[in-house]
Amino acid sequence: MDGVQLQETENGKGALITVSGRLTVRFADQFSPKFRDLEARDGPLQVDISDADRIDTVGAWVLYRLRSVRQEAGKETEIVGASDDMEQLIQQIGDAKLDTRMRPEKRGGPLGLLERFGGHIVEGTLQLGAFLAFLGVTMMALGRTVLHPRRLRGAAIFRQAETVGVEALGIIGLMSFLVGIVIAQQGAVQLRQFGAEVFVINLVGRITFRELGVLMTAIMVAGRSGSAFAAQLGSMKLAEEIDAMRTIGMPPIEVLVLPRLLAAVLAMPLLAFYGSIMAIGGGTLVSWLQLGIPPATFISRLQEVVPITDVWVGLIKAPVFGLIIAVAGCFQGLQVEGNAEEVGRRTTAAVVQAIFLVIVLDAFFAVFFSMLGWL
């Protein structure tokens, strides 16, 4: 490598360093430490740069640093052989140097840990408040649209309902069908020990309509659409599209959030019912192939053992889950601030929050319906 050579001679007054080679950014790691050593050295010093092939701003900076550090320490230092332009560059670079912190301040140690912990708690509390506020604002906007139905954006709702509902049919159908197969198959293995295989129909029928159909669907919708809502609104927020809407006089809640929310609320019961039916289909298939129960028998038996309230339980829960998923997604999307990483973080938060809330609400519903006597 034709890097940088420093040659030292004595010239009566003190040390003379002759620099040759290229004082450029490429070789900075090589020559910067050598110049640091020179900075620390005692006695007068002359640096001759007339032999240097090329000096860029990094070279100029290192020369400036050498001179200024040494002169501050009262050591005689001279840089010779510099053209006027070079001398000007050295001065320009030196003047430009900012006296500044490079990184945002961060507290380390146990105190820093405590600070971060406290920060998380404050952040969490504020987020909870903001979430409730957002829910309230959304409900008020919903109320206004109910009073003035002309403000409802029908086209947007249907477009969203298509992506949330119709486009999810394939994956939700397949998933529910497989879950139905698994429940029937596992149930049959256990119930056979009691000679009660026929109760597989009760198991599949009740668990899918009441719980699994709607729960699995909600999780899939949260993963497919809740995340999409957060990412869409988050990117729009970053690109100031949301601000643009506000200035034009389009309230973002009404334009962006309500269509998504209504689409999710509409699509969820339909998807949940469809998912339950597909799961029943899976159960029917296993019962037929493994237990020899013909599909016709399965269906008629299903009508006897599954109370209609089970269907209602599923259908009442579904729109509420849809609402929660949409609100969590839109809320997190609109919380995005600053940078691209935030979009990812908020998207993850939207899905986690939605699934968590769905399961918490499901537990509440279970208690509620049992108090109603819908066992």
Partner 1 sequence: MTDGNDQSARPVAINGRKGEAVIEVKNLVNRFGDQTVHEDLDLTVKRGEIIGVVGGSGTGKTVLMRSILSLQHFASGEISIFGKPVTGLAEGEELEVRRQFGVLFQNGALFSTLTVAENVQVPLREFFHMQQDLMDEIAAYKLGLTGLGPEAAPKYPSELSGGMRKRAALARALALDPRLLFLDEPTAGLDPVGAAAFDNLILDLKESLGLTVFLITHDLDTLYAICDRVAVLADKKVLAAAPIKELLEIDHPWIQEYFHGPRGRAALAGADANQQMA
Q: Which is nearer to partner 1, 106 or 148 (CB)?
A: 106
Q: Say if residues 214 and 279 touch (Cβ distance below 8 Å).
A: no
User: Which among 163, 138, 135, 157 is positioned nearest to 271, based on CA atoms?
Assistant: 163
Q: Which is nearer to partner 1, 54 or 192 (CB)?
A: 54
Question: Read out DSSP for 96-135?
Answer: H-----SS-----HHHHHHHHHHHHHHHHHHHHHHHHHHH
User: Which among 354, 372, 358, 265 is positioned nearest to 309, based on CA atoms?
Assistant: 372
Quick one: tokens of 143?
């109320």
Shortest Cβ distance from residue 93 to partner 1 (Å)?
Answer: 5
Q: Which is nearer to partner 1, 47 or 200 (CB)?
A: 47
3-state secondary structure at position 19: strand
Quick one: tokens of 107?
């507290």
Of residues 55 through 114, those in contact with partner 1 by CB under 8 A are 55-58, 61, 65, 80-83, 85-86, 88-89, 92-105
366 makes contact with partner 1 (CB under 8 A): no
Task: Identify residue 346 by its one-letter amino acid code.
Answer: R
79 vs 82: CA distance, rounded Å: 7
Q: Which is nearer to partner 1, 18 or 276 (CB)?
A: 18
**DSSP strands (E only) in the chain:** 4-10, 15-23, 45-55, 77-80
Q: Which is nearer to partner 1, 5 or 92 (CB)?
A: 92
341 makes contact with partner 1 (CB under 8 A): yes
Shortest Cβ distance from residue 76 to partner 1 (Å)?
Answer: 16
Shortest Cβ distance from residue 321 to partner 1 (Å)?
Answer: 34
- Residue found by looking up tokens 């999810």 in the block: 168
Length of the chain equals: 375
Site size toward partner 1, by CB under 8 A? 48
Q: Which is nearer to partner 1, 103 or 150 (CB)?
A: 103
Query: What distances in angstroms separate CA 349 from CA 129, 221, 234, 256, 374, one per listed residue?
Result: 16, 15, 12, 19, 34
Q: Which is nearer to partner 1, 36 or 120 (CB)?
A: 36
Which phi and psi angles does 13 have, rounded to 5°? -80, -25
Query: What distances in angstroms separate CA 360 from CA 132, 304, 322, one per listed residue?
Result: 16, 31, 14
* Contact region with partner 1 (CB under 8 A), list: 18-26, 167-175, 324-332, 366-374: 18-26
Shortest Cβ distance from residue 320 to partner 1 (Å)?
Answer: 36
Q: Which is nearer to partner 1, 25 or 360 (CB)?
A: 25
Q: Alpha-carbon torsion 72, 78, 79, 83, what sign? A: positive
120 makes contact with partner 1 (CB under 8 A): no
Q: Which is nearer to partner 1, 67 or 260 (CB)?
A: 67
User: Which among 79, 323, 334, 301 is positioned nearest to 198, based on CA atoms?
Assistant: 301
Shortest Cβ distance from residue 106 to partner 1 (Å)?
Answer: 10
335 vs 329: CA distance, rounded Å: 10
Q: Say if residues 18 and 6 touch (Cβ distance below 8 Å).
A: yes
Shortest Cβ distance from residue 111 to partner 1 (Å)?
Answer: 20
Among 76, 167, 304, 337, binds partner 1 (CB under 8 A): 337
- Sketch the per residue contact string, 21 through 60, with partner 1: x for CB under 8 A, - otherwise: --xxxx-xx--xx--------------xxxxxxxxxxx--
Q: Which is nearer to partner 1, 55 or 200 (CB)?
A: 55
Shortest Cβ distance from residue 144 to partner 1 (Å)?
Answer: 33
- Sketch the per residue contact string, 296 through 335, with partner 1: x for CB under 8 A, - otherwise: ----------------------------------------
Shortest Cβ distance from residue 169 to partner 1 (Å)?
Answer: 34
Query: What residues does 78 pair with on adjacent strands?
Result: 46
Residues binding partner 1 (CB under 8 A): 23-26, 28-29, 32-33, 48-58, 61, 65, 80-83, 85-86, 88-89, 92-105, 337-341
